[in-house]
Amino acid sequence: MGKVSERATAIKYAIRDLVVAANEVKKGGKEIIHLNIGDPLQYDFETPEYFKRYLVEAVVEKNINSYAPSEGLPMLREAIAWREKEYWGVNVDPENIIVTTGVSEAVQMLAFSFGAGNILLPGPGYPSYSGYFTLTGHEIREYPLLSDENWIPDVDAIARLSDKDTLAVVLINPNNPTGGVAPPSVVEEIGEIAQEKDFLIVSDEIYDLITFDNAQMISTQKVVGTDAPIITFNGISKTMLATGWRLGWMIASDGVIRHSEYKRVWEAIQKESRVRLSANAPVQYATAKALYEKYPHIEEFNKKLKERRDFFVKRLNELEQIECSPPPGAFYVFPKIVDERYKDDQKFVLELLRETGVLFVFGSGFGKYGKSHFRSVLLPPIDQLEKTIELVENFFANN
Ligand SMILES: Cc1ncc(COP(=O)(O)O)c(C=O)c1O
């Protein structure tokens, strides 16, 4: 018997695994253009000043430097409940919120809380889910997002793939890596299937306020109703521009608490929250204060992202090897490689990296439905996006 966990060894996280290859290229003297990580702070965006001040206030003036309660500071749980009401008109009991070290920890806790069964994940989808559910040994079933319809979930596939052993369907809305937004009618249909077949909906809404062109983003608890078992994930990384502060939360609907099985799942998550003590206390204070300010930075952020998106999508479509639709949400593009010669997305991304220093993430790193695509962030300023396009253009011309 080996000494290593084979499940842990099987974890893949292309977004960061690629950094190893990039470091090799860097050692060879090439400048790397990082377009792989969804972190606005690595470009020309900053954590809002008022948010930073609240963190200083927490640490220096309020002296909030000890452990917090495991489920979160009461003031933050109240602020999160207020936010859900304010933005989505959803009534949340602060008691049904657990504060985590980022949504990443929420995914981890969820995975460890389930018994045996299968999980439906969006394909393409954010690989934290497949990573943790691989670790816990759950069966993963990917349901496709429809590429021809701007990546909306294939509801028929969810119906087909789910059965009596389905524990949950995960909805990432807006989606990473595609930027797709599921219209309310689609979310409603997913809700109907989940109710009929009696499984949980997990709705990752970490990009909820980052949408463009009147995208129809709406919270799942709002559309499906809080009587259904739904756990919503959100946090400060993206919309509050604070990736490094590591704070997120999970919100259980009334339907979770009333359900004989999912209530126990939630109680298991509460226990997990205790065993890891607490999330970062001063950041919880700062977030509680900042949420009531109602994201004064978000309009400017979205405006810049939209300009960058429009520019990048237009320039990408000028390359005959690539097709790209404008994403309605989040800050990624997920173009299709239409030239047969470059269809092996992993090979394409690695060769492009070695030759030009441009670092995208290969589409199959987001599951089998990501094949023949790649993901780029659209966070850098326009001159860097233009430079990227020129390098990609040269690559195609020389290969
Ligand atoms: C859909 C989605 N969920 C969760 C995360 C991780 O969030 P956090 O920084 O809160 O751990 C990301 C980060 O890229 C994401 O795209």
Residue 147 CA to ligand 1 centre (angstroms): 22
pLDDT of residue 375: 97
- Please check whether residue 284 lies inside any domain of the structure: yes
pLDDT of residue 14: 78
- Please check whether residue 76 lies inside any domain of the structure: yes
Q: Could you tell me if 252 and 225 are in contact, meaning their C-beta atoms sit under 8 angstroms apart?
A: no
- The answer on 360 and 219 residing in a single domain is no
- The answer on 123 and 106 residing in a single domain is yes
Task: Give the position, in ligand 1's atom list, of the atom nearest the Cα of 15.
Answer: 14
- Please check whether residue 355 lies inside any domain of the structure: yes
Residue 11 has pLDDT above 90, yes or no: no
Question: What six digits make up the tokens of 228?
Answer: 């259904």
> What's the pTM?
0.97
Residue 2 CA to ligand 1 centre (angstroms): 32
- The answer on 327 and 217 residing in a single domain is no
174-199 pLDDT, tens digit each:
999 999 999 999 999 999 999 999 99
pLDDT of residue 178: 97
CA distances from 23 to 17, 36, 60, 359 (A): 11, 13, 38, 11
Question: What six digits make up the tokens of 161?
Answer: 């793939």
* Domain total of the chain: 2
- The answer on 228 and 270 residing in a single domain is yes
- The answer on 256 and 348 residing in a single domain is no
- The answer on 53 and 21 residing in a single domain is no
Q: Could you tell me if 141 and 121 are in contact, meaning their C-beta atoms sit under 8 angstroms apart?
A: yes
Name, in order, each residue with C-beta under 8 angstroms of 20's C-beta and a sequence gap of 6 or more: none
Confidence band of 19 (pLDDT split at 50, 70, 90): confident
Task: Give the position, in ligand 1's atom list, of the atom nearest the Cα of 37.
Answer: 14
- The answer on 37 and 80 residing in a single domain is no
- The answer on 262 and 134 residing in a single domain is yes
Residue 90 CA to ligand 1 centre (angstroms): 22
304-361 pLDDT, tens digit each:
999 999 999 999 999 999 999 999 999 999 999 999 999 899 999 999 999 999 999 9
Query: Which residue from 206, 240, 331, 379 has its CB within 8 A of the most atoms of ligand 1, so it is best to mutate?
Result: 206
- Please check whether residue 1 lies inside any domain of the structure: no
- Please check whether residue 283 lies inside any domain of the structure: yes
Residue 130 sits in a domain of what CATH number? 3.40.640.10
Residue 23 sits in a domain of what CATH number? 3.90.1150.10
Distance CA 376, CA 77 (A): 34
DSSP SS3 for 281 = helix
End of a domain among 291, 307, 337? 291
DSSP SS3 for 137 = coil
Residue 359: name the closest of 382, 342, 377 by CA: 377
pLDDT of residue 392: 97
Cβ-count burial 67-100 (b if 16+ within 10 Å, e if not): ebbbbbbeebbbbbbebbeebbebebebebbbbb
The residue segments making up the domain with residue 259 are 49-291
CA distances from 219 to 43, 90, 132 (A): 29, 8, 24
Which residue owns the Cα nearest ligand 1 atom 7? 103
End of a domain among 235, 258, 291? 291
- The answer on 253 and 127 residing in a single domain is yes
Question: 10 Å Cβ neighbour count for 391?
Answer: 16
Positive or negative torsion for Cα 267, 269, 275, 277: negative
- The answer on 318 and 182 residing in a single domain is no
- Please check whether residue 384 lies inside any domain of the structure: yes
Q: Which residues line ligand 1 at a C-beta cut-off of 6 Å?
A: 38, 102-104, 126, 128, 172, 176, 204, 206, 235, 237, 243, 248
Mean of the per-residue pLDDT values of the chain: 96
- The answer on 361 and 281 residing in a single domain is no
End of a domain among 291, 324, 351? 291
- The answer on 55 and 17 residing in a single domain is no
pLDDT of residue 10: 86
Give the count of alpha carbons within 13 A of 215, CB side only.
25
Confidence band of 374 (pLDDT split at 50, 70, 90): very high
Cα angle 242, 245, 248 (rounded to 5 degrees) comes to: 85
